[in-house]
Every structure is written in structure tokens, then in C-alpha cells.
Amino acid sequence: MFDTPADAQAQLAPSFPRPQVEVVVEALVPTLEFRPVPKGGADPGGTRIGGTPDLPPGLAWPRRAKPADVEAIAKRGNAEAGEEMRRHFRRELPYAFFAQVDLGEARGKGAFAEALPGHGRLLFFYDLTAGPWDNGTESARVIWDETPREGLAAQVMPPDLAAADEEHRAEIAKVNHRFKLPPPKPDAGTPYGGPARPMRLHATLRPPAVESLEMAARPALKAALAPRTDGAEGPRDAYQDLFAKAFDSYYGAANAGRRNQLLGSPLPEQSDPRFEAEVVSRFGVQHLDREAWKAQRPEIEAGARSWRLLLQIDVGDFLQESGEGTVYFLIRAADLADRRFDRVVAVYQQT
């Protein structure tokens, strides 16, 4: 959003009084955003969203095993979604490939990225068919591959994943034809994969979202953004408007891509996704009822602060087609230090 604190001050000054500008600037959080590379700019092992990963011999594209309790997951959706998940799980397909991050590139963007490994790449895979109903470790796979670039080979989709992708495209085309809608874009993605887009990482500064833990840790900022008691618009409305104009696709298609980020403070669609990561990890359930949440709140809040955002991907941007929701890949700080990427938790949110 902002390149430097001075840039932030200049952009915020028209919308906020000077004291509030200073409070916002003090709360800025560094993050890495993805910026498209011109066509023809793809490098082996380079950062990308969608497409297929670069893998060395012997490292297989990960495949999701059939869950122990398919019915428990299927029943979280409506009847149509539940039946789709049952069919999906029976096929035991590979995960959709979401992103590849060049760690050398990421580490070179600033001290805030030093928690990441300094070499190789992170490969992010996600089950976009069932994952929205199944927060946890099983809906995603994150692999740290240390292979030198010269040992990598571009991949093609596994045959069964490619077949599922084509079946989905054919079904969407059939439905669109039936209802006299435009045919789907030929280069758009499906739940089984998104179009390949080479990216470069860009260091930026972002103010924390109102719903984030970083906001909760800034009492001065929270106080400055407190809603007005008379119901009139105030600094909080201007702050929310700032986020909407920067990240809401309503203000332009390019904004969807701006929600994609590596590290930093998440952009929640609901509450901070680190709460959901803590709940599913601590209690083994997707959600707690109000009374259980109230009783466990201190422990949940303390535990949530141990989680870090690793990657956030906007589903509509991943598909380059209409799509809802955001996928958050989250990891405890201790697991990141130990390079335990097998413990990454995926959380899906949708407004």
C-alpha cells in the first residue's frame, strides 16, 4: 500500500488529522505483495501464482488422502456441496497448486522476512473443493524444497487432476449455455488449478485491518478509530474506506490481486483467521459456540498470537474468474523457526 512511512504520511494526510496520521504510520506492518511479471518473464524456481510447480526428480505433487470422516466434512455444506465433496474425496485427487515463492527473493526484501528460510522455495497446495468447509492441516500442503534451480523441472498437471479440471470446465460451459450466459473464459482457473502467472515480490507497508490482532495490540490506534457516539461518520469510516479502495474489487479488478500477500498482518474477511487456526488446532473443531468461546477466550486469544500469516491468496484472483473468499496459510512462530511446514493450517473465509 505504502512504500515508506513518508509515502504513508503524504497519502493519509487528506483523509485524517495529523495526530491520527502519526498513530496510523506508527502501526504500519511490513508485508510482501505479488506484482505480475511481463509475459515471458517466468524463471525456473521463480515466484508465481497458479500454473504448476517446478519440482526435482523424486518430489511428487502431493495428493490428498481420503479423510477419516468424509460425512462430517460433507455435512458442513448444503446438500449440493456435500455431494460434490463426497465425489471429490472418493477420487483422492492431488491438491490444486496455489503458489510458488522464491525464498531467496523473499529474504532479500528486508529484515522482517528473516523468519523464512533463506534458500529454495515454498510450494503451496490447497484443496479448493473441500477446503472451504475444512479448516486445518489436511486441506493444505506446504513444502520447503531446497533443490538448486538447475535440478528443477517444470511440471504438468497429474492426469487425474487434469481430467477433473476439464470435467469442471465442461460442466460450467454446459450450465452457462443452458442459462444463456457467456461461456467461461478459456484461460480462467477451476478448483483444480489457476492460470500460471509469474510474479515478483514487492516490500510494502500496510496499516492493520480493524479486525486484526495487530490492531488489538495498538490501543492508541483503536482509540483514534473508535466509532462516534452520535452515529456520524468519523475516522473509523475513513479508515475502512481506505481499505476498501485499496483491496476491494468493487473499486477495480486489479484490487483483487492486491489482497495476495506473503507475511505481514492478514486482511480478514471476518475475524482474524489466526483465531480460527487456534480453535481448530486446540479443540479439533471448526467453530466454537458462543458460550464455549466466551469460556475459552483468554486461552484462544493468547494462542492466536503465536500464529503467523505465511501466505494469503484471494480466490477470485487465483481463478482469474469470478470467485469468492480468501485462503490463509498460517503457521505457529515456533513451527516456522523449526521449518515444520507440515504443521501449516489453512483457513478459508468468505463474506
275 CB-near residues (< 8 Å, 6+ apart): 300, 301, 304
Residue closest to 199 by CA, chosen among 38, 44, 36, 43: 36
Domain that holds residue 156: 5-349
For residue 33, what pLDDT is reported?
97
- Cα separation of 109 and 86, whole Å? 43
CATH code for the domain in which residue 55 is found: 2.30.320.10
234 CB-near residues (< 8 Å, 6+ apart): 227, 228
Buried b (16+ CB within 10 A) or exposed e, 235-266: beeebeebbeebbebeeeeebbbbbbbbbbbb
pTM of this structure: 0.96
Q: For residue 21, what are the CA distances in angstroms to 18, 26, 203, 273?
A: 5, 9, 21, 27
For residue 283, what pLDDT is reported?
96
For residue 40, what pLDDT is reported?
64
How many other C-beta atoms lie within 10 A of the C-beta of residue 81? 16
Let me know if 9 is exposed, middle or buried by CB neighbors in 10 A (0-12, 13-18, 19+): middle
- Cα separation of 313 and 248, whole Å? 14
- Helices 290-304 + 273-283 axis angle, to 10: 110
Residue closest to 347 by CA, chosen among 142, 136, 82, 191: 136
For residue 73, what pLDDT is reported?
97
For residue 41, what pLDDT is reported?
63
Looking at the structure of the chain, the number of domains it has is 1
Which residue positions in the chain have pLDDT lower than 70? 40-41
Residue closest to 314 by CA, chosen among 322, 305, 325: 325
- Cα separation of 245 and 252, whole Å? 9
82 CB-near residues (< 8 Å, 6+ apart): 74, 75, 76
